[in-house]
Each structure stands twice: as C-alpha cells, then as structure tokens.
Amino acid sequence: MARILAEAREYTRTPPPAGRIRSSPAGEGARLVRADGPGWSLAARTDDIALLLLDDKPHEVVPVGRGQELPALLEDLDRMARASS
C-alpha cells in the first residue's frame, strides 16, 4: 500500500501519461478521483477513503483511510486531472 501511495504521490511531481488520472463530479461538492499505475488502480471520493485495486490480487479491494496525507494527495490528483482535461 505504501508503495502505491508513493507512486500516486510521484504523479503530482512528474505527470504521468494522459489518462492515468481522471476526475469527475461526485455530488455534494466532492469529486471522484481515479488514478492508475503499473499493476494498481486507486479510486476515491475527495471527501472519503480511497480504495486500491491490485492486478496481482484481482478479487481484493484494499481500503485506505483518510489519515493526514490522503486528503492532500486526492486534491492534488484532482487538480492535475482537471487541468489536463
């Protein structure tokens, strides 16, 4: 989980290829953010937890709690997705 979040964080410093980060309205002022990397996908509402999906564990969904870093990461990913669309 830490490796995947680090890779997602790296997207905010070095933009990934087009389409790797997406964002759409989720209602109530929140956004739905999706990011994909090699072997993983992240899906989250900007006002809630994130869910990780791993290619090597196709029937498992890993929840990521809000914590201190997740809200800022989701906001940064959302900002990038909106800027590139």
Question: What is the pLDDT at residue 84?
Answer: 82
DSSP collapsed to 3 states, 24-69: EEEECCEEEEEEEECCEEEEEECCCCEEEEECCEEEEEEEECCCCC
Q: Do residues 9 and 73 lie in contact, with contact meaning Cβ atoms separated by under 8 Å?
A: yes
Question: What is the pLDDT at residue 36?
Answer: 96
**pTM for this entry:** 0.91
The closest alpha carbon to 30, from 69, 75, 80, belongs to: 75
| Per-residue pLDDT tens listing for the chain (85 residues) | 889 999 999 999 999 998 999 999 999 999 999 999 999 999 999 999 999 999 999 999 999 999 999 999 999 999 999 998 7
Question: What is the pLDDT at residue 62?
Answer: 96
Question: What is the pLDDT at residue 1?
Answer: 85
Domain total for the chain? 1
- The domain in which residue 63 lies consists of 2-84
